[in-house]
């Protein structure tokens, strides 16, 4: 139940944020500082999500098959693989490493 509550909060926040862009005065469009904060925030959050999903297990830092998935995904991205291929490569790497008994 509580998860539903936070899902709906997140959905409402997302829609209102999008709508805000259509409602604020046009001069805000030229506010480069707001655009920069939004840009840096996006980089920071995605980085943190990547790192946390790679090494965090609860409050512990753990090195396991997920680190292999990260490396393989980076290689795939380096070679300009499409998003879905990158995701599948990450899954295959983690599953493969576990099959070998690593992590």
Partner 1 sequence: MPTTLRHSPGARVGLSIAVATGLYGISFGALSVSSGLDIWQTSALSLLLFSGGSQFAFIGVIAGGGSGAAAAGAAALLGIRNAVYGMQLNALLHPRGWRRFAAAQVTIDESLATSTGQTVLVEQKRGFWVAGLGIFVLWNVFTLIGALAGDAVGDPKQWGLDGAAVAAFLGLLWPRLRSKEAGAIAAVCALATVLTVPLVSPGVPILVAAVVAGAIGWFGFRHGPAGEGLEPDVDPYPGPPDAPGSTDAQAPR
Residues 74-93 that bind partner 1 (CB under 8 A): 74, 76-77, 82-84, 86-93
- From 79, 70, 74, select the one nearest 97 (Cα to Cα): 70
Tokens of residue 29, six digits: 């469009």
CA angle centred on 55, ends 53 and 60, rounded to 5°? 110
Q: Is 101 in the site for partner 1 (CB under 8 A)?
A: no
- Of residues 11-70, those binding partner 1 (CB under 8 A): 11, 13-15, 17-22, 24, 26, 28-30, 32-56, 58-61, 65-66, 68-70
Least distance in angstroms from the C-beta of 85 to partner 1: 9
Tokens of residue 68, six digits: 């292999």
Q: Is 102 in the site for partner 1 (CB under 8 A)?
A: no
Q: Which of 7, 63, 100, 102 binds partner 1 (CB under 8 A)?
A: 7
CA angle centred on 98, ends 94 and 92, rounded to 5°? 30
């Amino acid at each position: 139940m509580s998860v539903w509550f936070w899902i709906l909060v997140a959905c409402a926040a997302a829609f209102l944020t999008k709508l805000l862009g259509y409602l604020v005065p046009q001069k805000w469009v030229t506010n480069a500082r707001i655009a920069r904060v939004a840009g840096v925030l996006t980089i920071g959050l995605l980085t943190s999500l990547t790192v946390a999903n790679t090494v965090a297990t609860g409050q512990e830092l753990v090195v396991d098959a997920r680190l292999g998935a990260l490396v393989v995904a980076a290689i795939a991205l380096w070679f300009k693989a499409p998003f879905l291929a990158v995701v599948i490569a990450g899954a295959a790497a983690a599953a493969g490493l576990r099959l070998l008994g690593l992590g």
